[in-house]
A and B are shown apart, each in its own frame.
Chain A
């Protein structure tokens, strides 16, 4: 079980967080993206072994949306940051 350093709550157990998707799946600019762009990001993934920036939600905590730079084999975490320019979510 990972220990994830939430920028708001501090270190918390992974059970409090939900993984949402790889950052490859996030829109660059949702408003203006095209159909092919949407389908490419919605469907296809590099899925390589190594560090990936992923979107997680601290659903069992403060609710923030977080970008977590995490290794998908060792589970090492290099960084955790709010997903939108320092703006954070919250349920």
Chain B
């Protein structure tokens, strides 16, 4: 049975003041240190943003009672804590557009929904175009967005100069900026807070969050899932959802699945913090790179993959140099800032560059993975939709195209048009 526990008090100004007056010595845990039970109705493998969001929406919207999130380390320790925190929904293909716009709409209410400030900041995302062909490309994208009711504005070079004064809009560079596409509702969020906020809210609804609980096997009988073997013992369940960005292939393999995924490194870095200088997110078409400034003042940068498979989570110098070269070409005044920290996320790259969310040949086992670079911004949407799938057993309209079966049918969702080369997407 679902064990009752006292819900932690809501965060409020009064609550904060009360704790301040008592020396901040009486705070309670944001989420319980739960012990695994013998069985659950639903087990989510993976305590990242997606897994925690799934558990939250399952409990909140579908009335599911016995839910556990099993996490091999600490929650939010995978790609949730290793990304460049950008949220947007500027996708060309209708399938992607529906998915990411669903997510963006959830982001807009998330702090309120969770009673946890995830610092979602709609400072706008700008996709730069460096020549007329790219400008036509972003126009096509922007028109597609506008027809779907998603905000998009085309910025001329002059408008960009005004909107982002620190950006070099001159011609004195190899790839001059000729214009850009602004999504005003895009922005950034505090990545760790998303995991913590969902964890706290899910916990309050009775979800057991089991940290340091590594799944080592998936049990099946007669084509049905029966539970998971973990480092903390066997845990039974009728339904199991996989949401383990960076390790989707490994966990799916425990159920005998082989997926169209190859895992690559994506590097990112931050500079030392400085006073505000860049108040929007810049994405450069010239090198698939993105630059923004965190609330702490660090300039955060990321770019394309390392172009060879790796699970190392370690940065590599040539890519870092390239990110710096391109960033300084866009922002020449950043030359004297210092690179302070580099890291790498491990990205499950699918063969068509779009995620896989759906049923599997094992009854009761569901997969949510292959998010390529797109995982963070999808967090609430992915959880919301995956919860729906887990509850109903059937994909809804938005999820239907993302089923694994699309590869058998040749219905690839190839946003970049680069074909079955996972690292080129």
Contacts and interface: CB of A to CB of B under 8 A. Distances in A.
Interface stretch (A15-23, A26-34, A79-87): A15-23
Contact of B420 (A22, A43, A49): A43
Given A19-B423, A47-B263, A74-B312, A42 B351 contact: yes
B359 interface: no
B250 A48 contact: yes
A45 B420 contact: no
B309 A54 contact: yes
Contacts of B250: 47-49
A3 to B, nearest CB: 12
A44 B311 contact: no
A75 interface: yes
A73 B318 contact: no
Given A22-B309, A72-B310, A45 B318 contact: no
Interface footprint category on A = 20 to 34
A39 B411 CA distance: 13
Interface string B255-281: 000111111000000000000000000
Choose among B310, B316, B317, B420 the residue with the greatest number of A CB atoms under 10 Å from its CB. B310
A45 B259 contact: yes
B317 A46 contact: no
Interface residues of B, number: 24
B253 interface: yes
B2 interface: no
B249 interface: yes
A44 B420 CA distance: 10
A1 B318 contact: yes
B308 interface: yes
Interface string B104-126: 00000000000000000000000
A22 B422 CA distance: 11
Interface centre among B250, B260, B307, B318 (most CB of A within 10 A): B260
A45 B258 contact: yes
A52 B249 CA distance: 14
Contacts of A15: 318
A74 B307 CA distance: 16
B27 interface: no
B259 A47 contact: yes
A45 B262 contact: yes
A31 to B, nearest CB: 20
A15 B316 CA distance: 11
Interface of B: 249-250, 253, 258-263, 307-312, 316-318, 351, 407-408, 420-421, 423
9 closest cross-chain pairs (CB), A and B = A47-B249, A19-B308, A43-B260, A73-B311, A44-B258, A72-B309, A43-B351, A15-B318, A45-B262
